[in-house]
Each structure stands twice: as C-alpha cells, then as structure tokens.
Amino acid sequence: MTLIRKATSQDSAAVCRIDAMILGNTSRSTELCNAIAAGQCYVASFDMDVIGFALMDQSFFKQSFVSLIMVHPQYQKHGVGSDLLLYLESICPTDKLFTSTNLSNKRMQRLCHKLGYDYSGTIAHLDQADPELFFCKRV
C-alpha cells in the first residue's frame, strides 16, 4: 500500500534522485530541497522507499498549485500519481486546486481528466513549441 506524507529532510536524497532519473540532470535539486524545507513537498512511499513526490504551494494567484508530480519509473502506471494528487486534494487549504502540464505530456493530461480537473487555459512560450495546459478542480 502506498503511504503519502509530508517530506522531511531525510527524504531529500530520494526525491532528488527520482527527479534526476526522470529529468536527466540534477538542475532542480536546490529547488526541491527548498520545497522540502518549506513543507511544500509530499512523498509517496512503498515498503519504506520513496517512490514518488509532488510539490504544492499557494503561490499561484493565492490559490493552491501542484507544480510537479514525479513517480519513479518502476512505479509508473500503478496509480501513484493519482494517489499523490488525491492526497493533495484532501489537504488543500484553498477551495480550488490548480496544476499544469505540457501539451506533450499526455499521461498527466489523462490523469487530470480522470480525476475530474477542468481545463483552464493555455500559456504559450514557456517551453519552446510545447505549450503549458492548466487545469483546475474545486476541492
């Protein structure tokens, strides 16, 4: 069973390792450690191992925003991303939860639709030739 909890400093190495594995570099390590220190990172664990994480804060027009969800490749397609997002919905301190993903990220788009998120709009020019799609759910 997957357990979701707020990340602690002891989770930093595992969170950064999963991110680097998927991203292909360690460029976000400082950002991830800062999010953990600020209490904005949540980890999914299985058998005491961190298998995924998500970042949520209230910096998006004073609304809750999930800026990143990452799942270890070995545990993808096992519902870990859904578990993380549903957990964040359950603790969301605002009445709306926003998230976004690139147009190319069909997996995240399917997850948003599956969990009842409404499409909110698109912003171009953040990533070259890969617009950012925004989604919202009232929680």
- Domains of the chain, each with CATH number or no CATH: 3-138 (3.40.630.30)
Digit-coded pLDDT (tens) for 6-34? 999 999 999 999 999 999 999 999 999 99
Digit-coded pLDDT (tens) for 69-101? 999 999 999 999 999 999 999 999 999 999 999
- pLDDT for the residue numbered 16: 98
- Of 102, 91, 8, the closest CA to residue 56 belongs to 91
Cβ proximity of 52 and 44 under 8 Å: yes
Enter the pTM of the model.
0.96
- pLDDT for the residue numbered 1: 78
Cβ proximity of 65 and 56 under 8 Å: yes
CA distances, 67 to each of 36, 46, 98, 132, 134 (Å): 13, 23, 9, 12, 11
Q: What are phi and psi of 132, to 5 degrees?
A: -95, 125
Q: In a 3-state reduction of DSSP, which class is residue 20?
A: helix
